[in-house]
Structure 1
Amino acid sequence: MGVLQNNQLVSLDVRNGNNTNLFLRADNNPNLNCISVDDSVWAATNWNMVDNHTIFSYNCGNSSQYTLIPDSAFEQRLIDYGYDTIQDGKVLTSNISSIDSLDVSTPPNMFSPPKIYDLTGIESFSNLRFLNCGFNELTNLDLTQNSLLNNLMCGFNNIQNLNISQNINLEKLMCSHNPISNIDLTQNINLKALNCAVMSINELDVSQNLNLDTIHCGYNQISNLDLSNNQSLIALFCGFNQLESLDIKNGNNINFTDFQANNNDSLYCISVDDSTWASNNWSAYIDSQTVFSNNCNPSTIDIIENLNNFLTYPNPTNNLIQIEIENYNGSIEAALYDFTGKLLEATNSTKLSLVNYPKGIYLLKVAYGDRIEEVKVVKE
């Protein structure tokens, strides 16, 4: 037990390798700025009987301990905030280690300060919860030491790789407009809001992010998006991608506040909770070839070219479909359905025109002899 309140402490070192079994109280020490501990994150989480100005660190050192700030624009922001005094490429670590919120963004306007190219030194902001460094010229962002971070805004930079695997407390991530091609969110299980639009990603795995309620992932190259396990999701913007499959059957569709999935030319079916409800409420936000279904099971829409030499071509088509059955000279009955199962046309001809139908997926059923074949037909 360590009960040290109401003193005049200027330094305190409790690094004994046994902090997890120690009770510590050190409030009302006006000159105590830093306590050296075994694990600063654990201490900040478990020991709250300290003054607001007192922080925990692996090694408080002495008052002359500095953190290097090589980017002059970044250091000038710290000077403007009163955390530093002169441009000398460094700042007192004790001046920044307790800061929990930092905005060094550079919005594009005539009064903006110079842009930041290097955020080296951010690792010493060990108490940081909120960081906005957007609208700069950053190419690298190392936040592996900022384990308490829960809100990160780093959009509109030139960041190519973003490692947030150590930021397990992250709840909000705004990283849009960066040339990032891959983003790993598997460790960010507390994430609630994600904006990764206008990047270069072709895959987005949010299967571990069950608290997500908002996703902006438009203007990427994503081909498949499965959100069926994200039951908290109520807002999705995934337009302008290369989606071929989209599953938002999460049991919460009726509580959605926003949905948009247009400009996905190869997206023909979206799995939803209720196709009728989705069609009534979301049809304005999808492309003309896209339909809603309770189950867009690939086995129901894959093109069938079976062992009996039953052929349909060209498929996809923008006009005629030719039906050909090798070694069969009898009559046929062909029926064309839309993806909801509505009969559109029936014929005995081996040629079927789709010229008057909109782009999308259709089901063609052909009966001949004692067989019935089904094939997906794609109108481009």
Structure 2
Amino acid sequence: MANTCFALIFISTLFLIGSCSDDNSSDSLVNDQYLLIPDHHFEQILIDQGLDTDGTVNGQMLREDAEQVQRLDLNLNSHFGEIEDLTGIEGFTNITFLSAVGQNLEDIDLSSNTKLDTLYLQNNYLTTIDLSKNTDLITVNVLVNKLTTISGLEQARQLKELNLSYNYFEDFSITNASIEHLLMSDNLLTSFDSTGAPHLKSILLTTNQLTMVDLSSNPSLETMVISNNALQNISLEENPNLMYFYASSNGLTALDVSQNTELVDLRVDRNPDLSCIKIHSGQEIPTVSISEYQEFNENCQ
């Protein structure tokens, strides 16, 4: 009887050891050969596009498959609003393009995707994003999210276009010598600082809560759209290349565009306390939008 009990205990011990060994082997396999893809919708899209070559929704894909991908567009198959978790994206180390538009993402870690140059994450639920490891970025579009902060932009030395419109920023400052186009309409901005972005060509700040902006460090500016704010004054003397200036529905009391000889479109209607807009002698602006109580004059008192 004692021998029988000993045998049973011995066999049970071997079984437990074998089970633990199998589990460890499986974990090792996932880490070394396979990526964990817990979001079934994410994996199904990868399968549909022929990227996950085992063709089965099983929560994993070969790392080798992921490393072959250079362009990852998760919207090609109309699976909008399905992905909640992009765990596994860290294995796509060679992608230069990522689009995950109209999904249900609340966070994303792109620290392993160091070759990205184009990023589209519009219409998600992101509250913050860190791009400090994505130094090759040229285009970033995170329109319509819940962002209050974005970090790492100063590292993106090739950045040209940044779209942060329809988010929840209250203040924003950017230091990036390469950026040319910045869109931040429909936020909650009370403070905006572009002094660290000397090569900006266009700025969109429509529908915020700004009372002032300093454009003296943006000599390349061609388009400035700041309608529907609480702007009280603005100087355009350091913006000789300005072609489009929209500042309708603000609180301007004075405006001098006499130094902006390249202006082709000026819209400053619905500024109740702005009656005189200063121009220089002979200056013509092809397209204007002003209120009936406003006039152009060489001498504004």
| TM-score normalised over the length of structure 1 | 0.55
| Within-5 A mapping of 1:76-225 | 76-84=44-52, 85-105=55-75, 112=79, 115-184=82-151, 185-207=153-175, 209-225=176-192
- How much is the aligned-residue C-alpha RMSD, in angstroms? 3.2
Higher CA-based Rg = 1
Which runs of 5 or more structure 1 residues have no equivalent in the other structure? 1-60, 295-317, 320-336, 341-356, 359-364, 366-380
CA distance in 1, matches of 2:184, 2:244: 18
Pick aligned residue for 1:230 from 197, 204, 207: 197
- What residue in structure 2 maps to residue 289 of structure 1? 251
User: Matched residues in 2 for 1:242 and 1:151: separation?
Assistant: 30
CA spacing shift, 1:283–1:139, aligned 2, 3 Å: closer
Q: 1:137 to 1:113 in 2, by over 3 A?
A: closer
Answering whether residue 251 of structure 2 is matched by residue 251 of structure 1, we say no
Label 1:213 to 1:113 Cα distance change in 2 as closer, same or farther (>3 A): closer
CA distance in 2, matches of 1:113, 1:261: 32
Structure ranking higher in strand proportion: 1
Q: Give the number of the structure with larger relative contact order, counting CA–CA contacts within 8 Å between residues 6 or more apart.
A: 2
SS at match of 2:192: strand
1:205 alignment partner, SS class: strand
Q: Could you say what secondary structure the match of 2:150 adopts?
A: coil
CA distance in structure 2 between the aligned counterparts of 1:252 and 1:276, rounded to whole angstroms: 8
Q: 1:252 to 1:73 in 2, by over 3 A?
A: same
Larger helix fraction of residues: 2
Query: For the structure 1 residues 189 and 90, does the alpha-carbon distance in structure 2 shift closer, same or farther, using more than 3 Å as the test?
Result: same
Alpha-carbon displacement from aligned partner over 1:323-358 (angstroms, at most 9, x marks no partner): xxxxxxxxxxxxxx9796xxxxxxxxxxxxxxxx88
Q: Is the 8 A contact 1:181 1:202 kept in 2?
A: yes
Offset of 1:188 from its aligned partner? 2.5
Measure, in 2, the Cα distance between the counterparts of 1:128 and 1:98.
9
Q: Percent identity?
A: 27
How many aligned positions are there? Answer: 235
Matched residues in 2 for 1:132 and 1:202: separation?
A: 26
Shift of 1:273: 3.4
- The DSSP-based 3-state class of the residue aligned with 2:45 is helix
CA distance in 2, matches of 1:293, 1:224: 23
d(CA) in 2 for partners of 1:99, 1:277: 42
Compared CA separation, residues 268 and 277, structure 1 to 2 (3 A)? farther
Judge conservation of contact 2:185–2:207 (CA < 8 Å) in 1.
yes
TM-score by length of 2: 0.69
CA distance in 2, matches of 1:63, 1:200: 37
